[in-house]
Copies of this chain bind each other. A is one copy, B any other.
């Protein structure tokens, strides 16, 4: 097929007419499809149902050091759970604090604590005139929502194929003491699905921030979330790199079991240097008497160790892979030759990131919405919902059944084509 740029006006008009017929068919289907968020589907949830059986009324609910998990106490988490999450996030148990069911909450809490009490004796951010934050883009909307909530000024940094543009990061971080942090999803990033290269991780570890209370927010949400057995990205462990670089306190790592067991009822954790752990505990001991240890125990008794986690993740991949491949095939079959879009082909994570021609994403999403298919709102992958090129769409293939996913992506493809031609024909 010819690319749209090679077509004559007449050819484009014919193509548009064909597309409109298809649009009409979708309209008549009265669709109600929602593929907005990266939510595990029911078959994925079912993978963890046996976890509901590992604790019963006859179980010993003591953890390995003999403490009764039913009662108060054990502030930072039970030892075997620290060990398990430590294996997932590649740090020793002593560098971990276990929280409740959501790593997002841990990140919110970390920023809130820095805002009210500072970090390791620094001035609380609420006492500063200005706090800024680096946001590799496109990125995760819920990250940006937290920094926006605290009135932190967000600065876009381009995300390249091997991670954020480190020339820009280094320059800004080393020169501006009001920059206090950066959001990173270093593996199978949301939404681009890229993994930071060894060089990028090392440059992060060697940063020389102007602010002593600058921290890298390393949200390793997809550390074990591979799609393929034979194509897996590798991410260098950053805490260790920071230590080697003489920057031991530079990073907060975050992890959770949200997309391993149950999204709403998992275990989240922060991993960081012992200095930072001590600093966080000063708040933690006031804030809580400890998080849900029975659920910690339930996860450990079910998964046992990293092998148990890996086995589970293979089952997740078997469900997710066909969905990613379906999306990629439809995009490929319909858009490859037209030269109006490109997209990522990630080895893991939850998203495919689609790039259209400039000033198209909002219009395309709006058309899809009108046809009953709702995607993540355009702009969501940028701070303040402002996509400067208005060209990025995040596709979340995980939740819908294959049939619905196929329909949704076909509607998307139809909308992309219509918008591309309308722009060429100057039709509003």
Contact = CB atoms under 8 A, between A and B. Distances in A.
Nearest to A69: B264
Interface in A21-67: 37, 39-40, 42, 45, 48-53, 55-59, 61
A292 B55 CA distance: 17
A357 to B, nearest CB: 33
Contacts of A51: 57
A100 B71 CA distance: 15
Output the residue of A51, A55, A117, A263 with the most chain B CB within 10 A. A263
A402 interface: no
Contacts of A146: 286-287
A57 B68 contact: no
Contacts of A291: 100-102, 264
A93 interface: no
A265 B70 CA distance: 6
A400 interface: no
Output the residue of A37, A262, A264 with the most chain B CB within 10 A. A264
A214 to B, nearest CB: 20
A288 interface: yes
A115 interface: yes
A292 B298 CA distance: 14
Nearest to A101: B292
Contacts of A265: 69-70, 292-295
Interface in A104-163: 104-105, 108-109, 112, 115-117, 124, 126-127, 142, 145-146, 149-150
A234 interface: no
A142 B102 CA distance: 24
A127 to B, nearest CB: 7
B71 A294 contact: no
B45 A70 contact: yes
A289 interface: yes
A287 B146 CA distance: 7
Nearest to A48: B70
Output the residue of A61, A265, A288 with the most chain B CB within 10 A. A265
Nearest to A297: B265
A209 interface: no
A174 interface: no
Nearest to A100: B100
A181 interface: no
A40 B71 contact: yes
Given A112-B116, A126-B127, A295-B295, A72 B149 contact: no
A283 interface: yes
Given A102-B288, A264-B293, A49 B57 contact: yes
A261 to B, nearest CB: 9
Interface in A245-302: 258, 262-265, 283, 286-295
Interface of A: 37, 39-40, 42, 45, 48-53, 55-59, 61, 68-74, 100-102, 104-105, 108-109, 112, 115-117, 124, 126-127, 142, 145-146, 149-150, 258, 262-265, 283, 286-295
29 contacts: A40-B71, A42-B68, A45-B70, A49-B58, A52-B57, A52-B59, A53-B57, A70-B264, A70-B265, A71-B263, A71-B264, A72-B258, A72-B263, A100-B291, A100-B292, A102-B288, A102-B290, A102-B291, A104-B289, A105-B288, A108-B287, A112-B116, A124-B126, A145-B286, A149-B286, A264-B292, A265-B292, A265-B295, A295-B295
